Amino acid sequence: MEIEGPVIVSHKGEARIERGHPWVFRSDVQQDGGASPGAIVRVAGVRGEPLGFAFWSSRSEIRLRMVERGETLPEDFWRARIGRALRWRETVAAGAEAYRVVHGEGDLLPSLVVDRYRDWLAVQTLSQATERAKPEIVAALVDLLQPKGILERNDPRVRALEGLEPAVSVLHGEVPETVEVNEGDVRFRADLRRGQKTGLFLDQRENHLAARRYARGRALDCFSYDGGFALQVAHQCDEVTAVDLSAESLARLKENAAGNGLTNVTTQSVNAFDLLRALDDAGERFDTVVLDPPAFAKSRDAVEKAVRGYKEINLRALKILSPGGVLVTCSCSYHVHEDGFEAILADAAVDAGATVTVVEKRRQGRDHPVVLGVPETYYLKCFVLRRLA
């Protein structure tokens, strides 16, 4: 494997690397060493001391993504690093049919995402470096996993920051239009080409199963998508109302419910904010409420508005929650950190006049690792709350 550089970083960039953060920004690169777009490069400090190896980008504000802090890089880098990620999934995702095999920085493979749906893989190469190395990545995946097909789901907008075009195409074998997978004992149909993310919200897999443990009675699931929470809690509840603005998502939810023989799930295509307010005004009560909204804050500038949004839906959810009932509430906004989200929930409880206990604090599944000291890798917060009175 050809290594280019060295790329020289500033004292600030050097300190950032030494603290364990994998990103070095454009402003902290002093010399690019003539590196070509998407190269793997040696990284050095201002005095020439070796700092490790990184993916180089000629376009992104994130110029360097560190992949190794030592002085050598494995000869068979891609196979070795993907193989290590796969071995960890054999521990934390044993028996799962759909899970994340590679989670970017969490597996020391920044900008690479690989999701497994039984015998098929969905891959995202989100930087110049992983795009350039796509043939090696596919070869390693075929060797390690022997999939029937590999699909590139390279339609996230973040690729534009790297000067990369969107692409959804088959890289290996054949990939069907939909793949059926089990999540516990619930069967889902995943659309790998057009579904959210790579087909399903795999980062919520463990939270879906956790919610089922607490669910009972009459349930409301807001922002349902295709039923990740709704179909799990339906096994424990008398009735479930699943709410989403997308009629297409609700159609898939109905198909999934029918495929699992669930007859206690109804759907409403409506704005969840409006419905929660209307249910509160009507004095409706539920024993289980789930809130799993899309990211309200995709930038720092949006945090203030996001806080108001999270406060509103959680306030209304607690008001319609019966004493003894459980609220499972999530935020996937990285810019709203765990302590901030907990403060929002506390304020909502005060305004709802509710006494609330924290049953569990959860996060994205263990197949989506969080790197200590890299807050950007901790984005999904999930609180299980119980209303006492």
Q: How many CB atoms lie within 10 A of CB 353?
A: 9
Active-site annotation holder among 222, 237, 330, 332: 332
Q: How far apart, in whole angstroms, are the C-alpha atoms of residue 142 and residue 147?
A: 6
- CB pairs under 8 A, 24+ apart, for 196-199? 196/225, 197/115, 197/153, 198/113, 198/115, 198/117, 198/122, 198/124, 198/153, 199/98, 199/115, 199/117, 199/122
Q: How many CB atoms lie within 10 A of CB 18?
A: 11
CA-to-CA distance for 282 and 163, rounded, in angstroms? 51
Yes or no: say if 181 and 259 are a contact pair by the CB < 8 Å rule.
no
Instruction: Establish whether 382 is a catalytic residue.
Output: no
Residues belonging to the active site: 332
